[in-house]
Structure 1
Amino acid sequence: MKQLNCTICERRCHLTEGRPGACGLYEWKHGSIVERYADHFLVTCPISIETMPILHFQPGSKFLQVTTTGCNFSCPGCISSVLVKEMSPDSPALRHFTAEEIVDQAIRADCQGIVFLMNDPLAAFLRFLRIAELAQARGLKVGCSSNAYFTPESLTQLMPFLDFINIGMKGFSDAAYQACGVPAIRPVLRNLEALHGAGVHIEISCILTRNNAAELFDLARHVARLSPHIPLQVMRFLPFEGAAIDLEPSIRDAEDFCLTLRRMLDFVYLFNTPGSDYLNTRCPHCGQLVLEREFYGPMGAKLKLPEKGVSIDNSCPACPGYLPIVGPSATATYQEGDFEGGYPLTRAMEIVAAMLIAMGVHKKTVVVKAWEEILQEGGLKDLHRRIQHPRTYIDALLDFGRKAGVGERAEALAMYLENQMVRVENALASPKHRPRVYYAMGKPLFYINGERLENQLVEAAGGVSLNKMLPPGGRPGRNLPLAQLNALDPEIIFISAFLSNRMDDFLDECLALGVTAKAVKNRRIFVHPAPGWDFGSPRWVLGLLHMAKVFHPTRCHYNVMTEAQIFYRGFYGIDFSPQHINRSFSKPADNWRWIEADPVPAAIPPEPGPEPDRRQMLCC
């Protein structure tokens, strides 16, 4: 049988006619490598370049994002799992565009160029190569986010058309790469040097877990030998899929680690940490703030337009120090649409999966069909609107349940959620006092937009949402001045259950900043017992009960851990175990798995009865 070794990535799979390699995306045909699903794209939309993320190339500029499905790696805890593992490359949600049509889209949208991200361009190399070559000929810039597992042959083909790249490093050892399904790190280091030598603008991103700091320190030292000017983006690990929650480093530990790395590298940034100053560009010579950014969803940032910024000769506005930033900053910011631009799309798909999994759907194909309907019908904007209020969330849940053929189970789940809301409403009829509540994400000065579900839950639980008094902006929120937080004077502060923080670290930072609110003075700072309890998943009902108990303990004396056990057993068929939670909206535990068989009916949990003996209540 005739065969050929694939020359696109360093796995160099054996291809034969009708039998693809490990990624499933290429085959040998008529003596050459061809794409099995050429010219199909899941996403084509404008984004700001920091969404990739790229921070030192034409800051704030608008680029056209292109995304497909699939990957040549299989990384544990992948944030893009819904794209690279769960959605098929022949899904009807993918649309056919030629390279010419993609480039025309970018020009019509007044984009500076085209970027490939979210899944790896090595999974769609031939179509990306055609786009890159045509884009350059039309005067557009070209970039991508990649694991950089190129062969010398494929990199030689792409490099003449590539202006910038974010290389996602998996660590700094063969073992780190073997965990992703490939044999060694050597090809990536070779390609890093080749790209740098060719003058391609490089930024490096790496995941920081609680157990790989020493390895990333070695990575930073290697990068510094190549050039201390290369930006290093530290991605604080968010445990999705089967990743354990205890792998997630705290915000304080991650910031301390970035400070250590800045002794070797001029520019070290921290992502997945709302409110962190480590998203900003400061002059390494004098410390002057040059470019200010805000958190903009997982793996993303958003530039705040600078008053001065970088001069034409790339010198700091406060000293003669050189700043290696390519091209001018944008003069206007681009605002992506709901769930558009980078990784928020994957969270939207997770939310749909969360609804269906809580209805007892264990079959991946059922969930994928729901994703395809949303993407084909342009329903992301409607989904974003509906998930922001408990009762419209329930309506959306019922719609998806009916479409998935599990209408009865959807109605059982909807009835349970509605009954719990009524239970809280009845307990809080005519409360004497409604506490003033501020909802933060990550750090004290980053607030969640008032229209989001978290703040609707605050009011449903008998509180007054101070976030609704603040101007909306960003995604999912923005920073506010210290004086404004002190003027709001919240009695209670809740920390987001998604991108969260340790309560003691949060309190310490409040004290260091000078937050004088009653919530800080009285140590009334709370976080939910588990992620997914205040946004994204039907588990928000547990967050509602938790907040109601915090706000009105004499009226709402719930045992929240008992309520969690009822919910998990009733709708997931498993026990609630804090040891098995992670940051996924959809999967209820890190050991939950798809079952490719008929969905198992979810049990209908019993109506809440009398409260259990308080002497036997678990701490919550």
Structure 2
Amino acid sequence: MKCTICERGCTIPEGNTGACGRYKNNGEKIIELFPDKYLTICPISIETMPVLHFHPRGKFLQISTTGCNLNCQGCFSTVIAREMVHTSKALRELSPQQVLDEAVKNDCIGIAFLLNDPLASFPTFLKVAATAKKSGLLVGCSSNAYFTETSLAEISRFLDFINVGVKGLSPRAYQNCGGSTVEPVLRNIKQLHENGVHVEVSCILQNNNMEEVLELAGRIANISPEIPLQLMRYIPLEGADPALEPSIREAESLYHRLRKYLNYVYLFNSPGTDYLHTFCPNCGEVIFKRDFYGPMGAKLLFSESGSTRKNVCPQCGWTIPIKALPAEIKYQEEDFQGGYPFTRALEMVEAILITIGVTDIKKVVQVWEDMLSHNGLPQLHRGIQNIDSYFEIINYFGRLIQMEDQAAELVAYMQEKISLINTSLPHVQKRPRVYYAMGKPPFCLMGKRFENQLVEAAGGFSINKEIEYSGRPGMKISVEQLNDLNPEVIFISAFLSSYVEDFYAECCKTGINVAAVKNKRIYTHPAPGWDFGSPRWILGLMHIANMLHPGIYHFDVWTEAKRFYKQFYGVDFSPAEVNRSFSKPSNKWKWRNN
């Protein structure tokens, strides 16, 4: 029997499942194996999906299940698409009416399916969508849109908006994910647009697919140049090759070429860029300003000059095709809620467990279940922001999975290095003023974040703590504000990073003339994952100490990295194989018992 839900078109023998493992041939029909089971249900603002031109600032109920119909390398949602088991007790079973009740209780104007693909839970999403529409709620999703013509006809009756993630234009881009070609996706984008569904398209930008992305922009423009294109600068995770990550500078350069095809292009995963703003396609005036809000996310700003609550250009009168004006009230997500921060939380848990020697994914799921079943996300968010409480989390996880000795070994190693730093701190005569940026120079990390705690533990003074914040993981500040702060040292985040050369050039271009720029004391970390999200931050702490006080600290961080990898991961340290993943120590790391 052939499955008609997605274009993979699995032929499923009786009693078996298709490639995604979510549907079974019971002898009479294809059935959904895990209906009405949700991993996340929480309110979000729509820009965190991200969707930018549909009810800006609108509050929607995010629903997510598990699984996916495709299997893409470097997926942002691997932890829930591939690693969280479908039968986990962390999943909540809710009827469509109960989902609707959650939306109403939280004053949401609609329901949005994201993080994993609704094609993995298609009958469940259909029922929820139909129930929501009967009650007057809006319905949308993020999807790879690998719908068949049959399934598209079923869902498009209920859809108001969709973010379509295009993998690329070459057959290789889809064959690498388990599909065949992009043509069904382009067919579906055209059909959805013609049916009156609000469509936004997102595409991953790698440094080897830029011409493909330009061709994609042309194909979208043939449907409508008004369709927004979201350019997702590639963040290599899981088994992805870190060499495929383009720089922010390269992504911004491509952005200008894309604007020749489409009226509205947005650059994500590039903190500090101006290209999350909506520019008037006629005169170039900024109509809506936005700031980076974590991976794949954005936040609409009204406080800055140039932002408006109207969709008409104040300079030339051009009308921006936005469905509904922005909501007056901004919704602020809770810790680790709102799009992809949830998956990052699960990755951080996984990171600790892998470092204490866990090689069986079932043990990771056990800890996830304990945390999610006891509303542990807020406690995790608080705990990972301080060194002592981070150690408490390591020990707690060790007890939970009966690996106390391994957890204690990791803590002992980390405390030994901190003790060495503390022993020499009395010799520090002056704590330099340190600014911690993410991506481009203006994007300032929140003062309470862990990176700034590392700065102060290494003998620096964090000037990030002097700034009032409203964003996550920080916010963009003005050149004037940064110049007034006048940091003596600048560190660039090891997650969404920039090359030091690009960062320095941007400082010179924009008039940032602080002491750190004049003296060229701008640093990034030797490898990703060294300052947040993983116990590998202990390597970053030693590196920060070396850079802040080279006359006092002389850690051989490369030797320490080799020791750390061998002792806690059982593998050799190879910088070329370390990507942006919090959890996996390298792109070659595999679960041994799965």
- From 590, 595, 602, give the equivalent of 2:592: 595
C-alpha displacement at 1:322, in angstroms? 2.4
State the SS of the aligned residue for 1:428. helix
The corresponding residue for 1:469 is: 466
Q: Matches of 1:515 and 1:227 in 2, distance apart?
A: 40
Whether 1:497 aligns to 2:487 is no
Residue number in structure 2 paired with 1:604: none
What pairs with 1:94-493 in structure 2 (closer than 5 Å)? 94-305=91-302, 314-493=311-490
Q: Does 1:508 align with 2:498?
A: no
Which residue does 1:606 correspond to in 2? none
Q: Which of 530, 533, 537 is residue 536 of structure 1 equivalent to?
A: 533
Alpha-carbon shift at residue 317 of structure 1 (Å): 2.4
CA distance in 2, matches of 1:90, 1:571: 30
Q: Indicate whether 1:52 and 2:49 are aligned.
A: yes
Distance 1:184 1:323 in 2: 33
| CA positional deviation for 1:91 | 1.1
SS in 2 for 1:408: helix
Distance in 2 (CA, whole Å) between partners of 1:139 and 1:74 is 34
Cα offset, 1:17, TM superposition: 4.1
- 1:411 and 1:163 map into 2 onto residues whose CA distance is 52
Q: Deviations over 1:285-312 (max 9, x none)?
A: 1111111111111111111137786676
| TM-score using structure 1 length | 0.94
What per-residue deviation string (whole Å, max 9, x for no partner) do you get for residues 502-527 of structure 1? Answer: 10100011111111110001110000
Measure, in 2, the Cα distance between the counterparts of 1:564 and 1:16: 49
Is the CA contact 1:208–1:249 (under 8 Å) kept in the aligned structure 2? yes
Counterpart amino acid of residue 324 in structure 1 = P
Deviations 1:348-378 (A, max 9, x none): 1111111111111111111111111111111
Cα displacement (A) at 1:472: 2.6
Match of 1:178, as an amino acid?
A: Q
Q: How many residues align?
A: 593
**What letter corresponds to residue 514 of structure 2 in structure 1?**
A
Q: Please tell me the root mean square deviation across aligned C-alpha atoms, in Å.
A: 1.3
The residue identity in structure 2 corresponding to 1:103 is L
Residue in structure 2 matched with residue 74 of structure 1 by the alignment: 71
**d(CA) in 1 for partners of 2:288 and 2:55?**
12
Q: Residues 112 and 140 of structure 2 are in contact (CA less than 8 Å); yes or no, is this contact kept in structure 1?
A: yes
Assess if the C-alpha contact under 8 Å between 2:289 and 2:306 holds in 1: no
1:17-46 deviation line (CA, Å, top 9, x unaligned): 431111111123362332111111000000
Q: 1:305–1:333: 8 Å Cα contact kept in structure 2?
A: no
- 3-state secondary structure, aligned to 1:44: strand
Contact 1:388/1:451 (<8 A) preserved: yes
For residues 506-552 of structure 1, give each alpha carbon's deviation from its aligned partner in whole angstroms, at most 9, with x where no partner exists. Answer: 00111111111100011100000011110011110011100111111
Secondary structure at the aligned position of 1:78 is classed as coil
> Which structure 2 segments of 5+ residues have no match?
none
- Take 1:369 and 1:39, find their aligned partners in 2: how far apart are those partners? 21
Verify: 1:564 aligned to 2:557, yes or no: no
* Shift in Å, 1:383: 0.3
Which secondary structure does the structure 1 equivalent of 2:254 belong to?
Answer: helix
Q: How far is 1:258 from its partner? A: 0.7
CA distance in 2, matches of 1:302, 1:15: 43
Partner amino acid for 1:275? G
1:582 to 573, 579, 584: 579
Q: Distance in 2 between matches of 1:535 and 1:310?
A: 35
Question: Cα distance, 1:428 vs. partner?
Answer: 1.5
Match of 1:524 among 516, 521, 526: 521
Instruction: Deviation per CA, 1:547-570: give whole Å up to 9, x if none.
Output: 111111111011111111111111
Q: Detail structure 1 runs of 4+ shifted over 4 Å in the superposition.
A: 306-312
C-alpha distance in 2 between matches for 1:254 and 1:300: 17
> CA separation in 2, counterparts of 1:218 and 1:378?
45
CA contact (8 A) 2:249 2:502 kept: yes
Distance across 2 between alignment mates of 1:473 and 1:539: 28
Deviations 1:121-149 (A, max 9, x none): 00011111111111111111111000101
Distance 1:305 1:332, change over 3 A: farther
Secondary structure of residue in 1 paired with 2:275: helix
Distance (whole Å) between structure 1 residues aligned to residue 79 and residue 163 of structure 2: 21
Q: Is the 8 A contact 1:309 1:317 kept in 2?
A: no
CA contact (8 A) 1:310 1:328 kept: no
| CA-to-aligned-CA distance 1:270-291 (integer Å, 9 cap, x gap) | 0001111111111111111111
Amino acid at match of 1:80: S
Give 1:318 shift. Answer: 2.1
**Contact 1:310–1:323 (CA<8 Å) still a contact in 2?**
no
Question: Which deviates the most, 423-432 or 512-521?
Answer: 423-432
SS in 2 for 1:111: coil
Q: Which moved more, 1:565-574 or 1:542-551?
A: 565-574
Percent identical pairs in the alignment equals 53
Residue in structure 1 matching 2:39, options 36, 39, 42: 42
The CA deviation string for residues 461-520 of structure 1, in whole angstroms up to 9 with x for no partner, is 000000011113211100111111111100000000000001010001111111111000
Letter in 1 for 2:166: M
SS at match of 1:520: helix
Inter-partner Cα distance in structure 2 for 1:586 and 1:331 = 38
Secondary structure of the corresponding residue to residue 491 of structure 2: strand
Q: Aligned partner of 1:298: which letter?
A: P
Offset at residue 15 of structure 1 (A): 2.9
